Amino acid sequence: MACIEARGLRKAFGTTIALDGIDLRVEEGRILGLIGPNGAGKTTALNAILGLTPYQGELRVLGRDPWSERDQLMRDVCFIADVAVLPRWIRVSQALDYVAGVHPRFDRAKAEGFLAKTTIRRTSKVRELSKGMVTQLHLALVMAIDARLLVLDEPTLGLDILYRKQFYDSLLNDYFDRNRTVVVATHQVDEIQHVLTDVMFIDRGRIVFARSMEEVESRYREVMVNPDKLAAARALKPIQERQGFGRSILLFDGLDRAQLATLGEVRTPSIADLFVAVMSNHAGRAQGAAQ
């Protein structure tokens, strides 16, 4: 069953087209990484999914229209924005009390468990916490809610690398199960690669790449080519070529690993390298179409 399904989803702000008729489908029980440069349409897409902005086209989230049925939808959805906004006057214990009082699916013990891994004191006020601590508190509150869909927009902004890793480990081991769906929009591509089941690249309001991680690992190969094999490697039409460690690194789609092994060292590309290659090709095609 699809958790999120969109057809011809479009959103414009005046003359600026934020979403340009995109189609997408996210199955239940998946962790999707939505990746794109600034201004690509990530946040607008998330806002449409959450019922925070009107749109054109068809969109269903957990079987509901998010714009007209938002009240019902929010019973099953949690959201963490890129800027964690909590009242500066509230104490940590009061924040826990508040969420426990307003959300029937809030598990206070789970929130306490997340906070136990931090140095946050229950008596502290939000204004006394560092930016990273505020983010940690927000994460603890939201991840302790038993939601069918969790939407994260740059969820670890302001956290150092240790806490970012801890967050994603908690997301995978303590929160995610096959009944929940998670959508993560982030720039920290390499840090989330190990938790994703699916990846989607968005650019200029269009989905330009959508694959499961299984497809990525089976289809795409990166070869650090031996110098004497460079001409033969280029003849196989790589989708990208770059330089690294004094050698040419070529990225291929769909070619046999054994064949590529005759040209040099073969490995699976990182999501970051694949993203750069896809974005470069898409930009080139867009420029060519405009001329």
State the Cα–Cα distance between residues 73 and 132, nearest whole angstrom. Answer: 29
The CATH class of 2-204 is: alpha beta
51 — alpha (psi -120 to 50), left (phi > 0) or beta?
left
51 φ/ψ angles, rounded to the nearest 5 degrees: 75, 25
Q: Is residue 219 pLDDT above 80, yes or no?
A: yes
- List pLDDT tens digits, range 145-190: 989 999 998 887 777 888 788 788 888 887 888 789 999 998 778 7
Q: How far is CA 102 from the centre of its chain?
A: 28
State the Cα–Cα distance between residues 185 and 35, nearest whole angstrom. Answer: 6
The residue among 163, 82, 91 whose CA lies nearest residue 127 is 91
Name the E strands within 89-178.
149-153
Per the model's pLDDT, the better-predicted residue between 26 and 192 turns out to be 26
Sheet of 181-185, strands arranged across = 77-80, 149-153, 181-185, 31-35, 198-203, 206-212
Boundaries of every domain in the chain: 2-204, 216-290
Mean pLDDT of the chain: 90
Q: 0.85 exceeded by the pTM? A: yes
Q: Do residues 86 and 131 make contact, with C-beta atoms less than 8 angstroms apart?
A: no
Given this model, what pLDDT does residue 206 score?
94
Task: Please state the rounded mean pLDDT for residues 4-15.
Answer: 96
